[in-house]
Amino acid sequence: MQRAHHTLRRLGTHSLMASMVLFAAAACSGQSSPAAAPTATDSPPTAVPETSDASYAIIRIPVEANASGGLATAVSRGKRNGQINYALWLDSTQSEKAGFSSVVVVGFAGADALSAWRNEAAPELAPPAEVHLADRLYHVENPGRDSSIAVFQGNYMEPKVSREDFSRFTEDYMRKYLELQREAGILTSYSMYLEHEAPAGSGLAFMIREHTDQHTFDDRNSTKDRLRDELMARDADYKKLEDTAIEYRVHVSGTRARHVPLP
């Protein structure tokens, strides 16, 4: 618990300085309508392919702070200019123990596009914004999903193992379980990011889950418990990781959020 509290303090105190160093190195959603209970989805997921030069930034606005009024405009401008090829903005809907006020995940074609956008958006990236470069380990989404009625969760974790070992762990453990939830109709998308290491400390992992709607989110636990039990019964490797998961990461924060459309 002390380690997690230390990590939360590190997020606020040191992250801006660390992220500016990383940036320099790189340069060298509304009311929902009633919905039915979750059912297995027939839509094939879209697993977005990653390229070796893809770059991501996670822009975190701390709790009780507000994003710059021009940040959304800067992100939209980057999309129109072709610098940004992926953007997701989430606002916290959680009143207690939230890990962020807002978080924006931005994807670029490469370091040059990231550097150019960073220079143009510098005023919007000033404090209280905290910017972290990251790798996207995976991202899966259902075509035709409606993010405006979805309930998102953003979870920060601190890896306790090397980047390579954590990447294998999240692929063999978390992704298996997430995909079962998507197939059962609980999730319509999920993503995992791993921040680059920074002078202030090792990078955090950030997992995003998009639940179908409020009804599905409220009723998710019974289905999730059944899926986990069935997975452990038939998959010895998953069962082993379930029993040893605490050795791979420390939970830092979990935040319920809504999708915010960009202009």
Q: Tell me, what CATH number does 97's domain have?
A: 3.30.70
pLDDT at residue 27, as a whole number? 38
The one-letter amino acid code at 50 reads: E
Mean pLDDT is lowest, of 44-58, 98-112, 114-128, 247-261, for: 44-58
pLDDT at residue 28, as a whole number? 38
Domain count, the chain: 1
Helix residue ranges, H only, 14-130: 15-27, 71-80, 111-120
Q: CB 157: neighbour CB atoms within 10 A?
A: 23
On whether the CB atoms of residues 130 and 62 are closer than 8 A, the answer is: yes
**132-157 mean pLDDT:** 97
Is the confidence at residue 165, as pLDDT, over 80?
yes
Is the confidence at residue 35, as pLDDT, over 60?
no
pLDDT at residue 263, as a whole number? 83
3-state SS class at 111: helix
Q: Convert the pLDDT of each residue in 36-60 to its tens digit.
A: 444 455 555 655 444 445 699 999 9
Q: Output the pTM of the full model.
A: 0.82
Domain enclosing residue 155, as ranges: 2-259
